[in-house]
Amino acid sequence: MAVNLAPQVRAWLVRGLVIVAAGFAGWSLLGVYSVGLSRAEYLSPTRAFLRAALAGDTAALVRQGAEPGVVQWAVQARRDEPAALRALEAGLYLGGGSLKGDTTVVWFGARSAAGACVDWALRMYFAGGSDARRIGRVAMYCGTRATPPPGAS
């Protein structure tokens, strides 16, 4: 016995199934491109990076694999935003990450009593494998001269 549905009902059922299928496919793809982050693998080097930036130790930044533009960023951030760097270093926690080609993009938040930084306060781009990892780019989203996070107006 076949069920006869009105064309409008059938159309809504088809749309619903398409939406569910698209949602499932999207969720599956997120699993492919997300990164299982190890706290030690990214948190420790980022803390060391922030300590070197606060100390103005460009040699340590280079030893950690910072690209020349990142070293310049650290020098500028130390000069312009020392309070934000201190807040990041003191309250840094791992937020999440994603994989883009051979680059792992990692987001960090900072717990700060002064409120200088918020969730997703720092984004770092790590390129290469764990044995030869480089810091290719850094973006800070706290402090007075920070770039607003993506999507913020």
Q: Between 33 and 99, whose confidence is greater?
A: 99
Q: Between 22 and 83, whose confidence is greater?
A: 83
What digits encode the pLDDT tens for the residues 68-92?
Answer: 999 999 999 999 888 888 888 888 8
Q: Judge whether 112 and 119 are in contact, CB under 8 Å.
A: no
Q: Between 134 and 144, whose confidence is greater?
A: 134
Nearest to 86, CA basis, from 60, 118, 120, 110:
110
Q: Judge whether 48 and 57 are in contact, CB under 8 Å.
A: no
- pTM of the model as a whole: 0.67
What digits encode the pLDDT tens for the residues 52-70?
Answer: 999 999 999 999 898 999 9
Q: What is the pLDDT of residue 149?
A: 44
Distance between CA atoms of residues 57 and 71, nearest Å: 9
Please compute the mean of the pLDDT values over residues 91-97 and round it to a whole number.
85
- What the chain holds in terms of domains, given with CATH numbers, is 1-33 (no CATH), 39-140 (3.10.450)
End-to-end CA distance of the chain: 57
Helices 39-55/82-91 angle, 10° precision: 150
HSE-up of 39 (CA within 13 Å, CB side)? 2
